[in-house]
Structure 1
Amino acid sequence: MDMAVHIQQMLEAYTPSELSVPSRKLAGVLAPLYVHEGEYRMVFTKRSDRMLHHRGQISFPGGGHESADGSLLDTALRESDEEIGLNPDHVTVLGQLDDLLTTGSNYLIRPYVGLIPYPYPFELDKRETDYLIEVPLHFLRQNNPPCQITREHEGRVVESFFFDYEGHVIWGATGKILKRFLDLLDRHDVAM
């Protein structure tokens, strides 16, 4: 069976943790996957240094919920279209992951996993996205668990996970979302 089908079945059977924290701003992100020559790769963005939050960081495409968005999935798809030119009609949503609360920017993030066609004619919004990083899923799985540091942030002890792919450090909220996804794959023994 195809890995994307396994992932979709796994996420359909999984009940993601959905949080309700009225004081938090809402955001939706998309973890895009594609297949090239039998290899699954995950797409990340390098955020522009001009961004207000998380400038210069590696992240999934996505952003803040707007009143015109029907759901946080709509937010993730709209933002992916705005940031990297990923047409929502070209995304097969495989499922939802656990909500995550950010420590610095006060967001509640709802992540989704989607399969996209390859090759894809991405069009980057240079105000938001410097470039894309396309990481083999097998590399991420082989490096899970990722490196981990514990630090203090605003009087609380915070665990930070980070993956280093060819000098690109994936950490923070994106690192936590990625680790949770990889843990699910491992727990359900989804074959590469």
Structure 2
Amino acid sequence: MTLVERLRHALTAGSSVDAVLLTGDHVDHDLLPTVLTQAAVLVPVTDRAAPGVILTRRTDTMTRHAGQVAFPGGRIDPGDADPVAAALREAEEEIALPRAAVRIVGEADRYRTITGFEVTPVIGVVPPDLVLTPNPAEVAAVFEVPLDFLLDSGNHIETSVEWQGRNRHYYEILWGEHRIWGATAAMIVNLSRRLRWNG
């Protein structure tokens, strides 16, 4: 069974009925904006014996999410046919990932952010060791993290911070010098719970 087939099967048929998924940045949904901007991110999984996931670190000059680790992606533009098209376009713009190199597995669970976005993660499989070129206006670094590390619930650290007078709970995943947290970590946690990855 190919990696695409394994992921697609896990995403559609292997999901746990009892999986508790994270739906948004805050359990107090009254803090979420009432009108959400649709967005999509690409979750690029490398097709190798030990698959990895390609992530980016935003530049420190970004007006939103400066310096944070993220999947390539962004808002869905009027010219995008669907979340898949938006995710592929954004990945090409941000890290020069050719659209034709991505084999789409499917869409994962949407996630709402406190900044007003409803994000659709799009899982795709890409060849290993592609030469990726970060767009210097948006991306400071591109790196790969082993898929089994990301999906291991033992690496999902739940923490909290006080925000607007309330404790905001979120997950973080530490990989070397990189701190993956917020919406990106939450989407990884959801994938872990949904896929029940077994290597």
TM-score class normalised by the smaller sequence: 0.7 to 0.9
In 1, Cα distance between equivalents of 2:160 and 2:34: 27
Select which of 170, 173, 185 maps to 2:180: 170
Who is 1:25 aligned against?
A: 37
Asked if 2 retains the 8 angstrom alpha-carbon contact of 1:3 and 1:191, the reply is no
Who is 2:5 aligned against?
A: 5
Q: Is 1:184–2:191 an aligned residue pair?
A: no
Offset from partner CA, 1:61-92 (integer Å, 9 cap, x none): 00011111111221111000000011111111
1:171 positional shift: 0.3
Q: Count residues with an aligned counterpart.
A: 186
In 1, Cα distance between equivalents of 2:191 and 2:144: 16
Amino acid at match of 2:132: F
Moved more, 168-177 or 132-141: 132-141
Asked if 2 retains the 8 angstrom alpha-carbon contact of 1:17 and 1:99, the reply is no
Amino acid at match of 1:133: F
Q: Percent identity?
A: 27
In 2, Cα distance between equivalents of 1:87 and 1:115: 12
TM-score (norm 1): 0.87
Who is 2:30 aligned against?
A: none
In 1, Cα distance between equivalents of 2:154 and 2:195: 11
Unaligned segments of structure 1, at least 5 residues: none
CA RMSD of aligned residues (A): 2.4
In 2, Cα distance between equivalents of 1:182 and 1:17: 11
Asked if 2 retains the 8 angstrom alpha-carbon contact of 1:24 and 1:108, the reply is yes
Asked if 1 retains the 8 angstrom alpha-carbon contact of 2:23 and 2:112, the reply is no
In 1, Cα distance between equivalents of 2:81 and 2:165: 36
In 1, Cα distance between equivalents of 2:106 and 2:117: 21
Amino acid at match of 2:138: E
Secondary structure in 2 aligned to 1:164?
A: strand
Who is 1:116 aligned against?
A: 126
Q: Is 1:153–2:153 an aligned residue pair?
A: no
Asked if 2 retains the 8 angstrom alpha-carbon contact of 1:145 and 1:179, the reply is no
Alignment of 1:99-114 (within 5 A): 99-103=110-114, 105-114=115-124
1:18 positional shift: 9.7
Cα distance change of structure 1 residues 154 and 73 upon mapping to structure 2, 3 Å threshold: farther
Who is 1:73 aligned against?
A: 84
1:150 positional shift: 2.5
Asked if 2 retains the 8 angstrom alpha-carbon contact of 1:143 and 1:163, the reply is no
Amino acid at match of 1:122: L
In 2, Cα distance between equivalents of 1:108 and 1:142: 25
Asked if 2 retains the 8 angstrom alpha-carbon contact of 1:99 and 1:108, the reply is yes
Secondary structure in 2 aligned to 1:39?
A: coil
Select which of 115, 139, 149 maps to 2:149: 139
1:40 positional shift: 0.4
Unaligned segments of structure 2, at least 5 residues: 25-32
Amino acid at match of 2:198: A
Moved more, 52-61 or 138-147: 138-147
TM-score (norm 2): 0.84
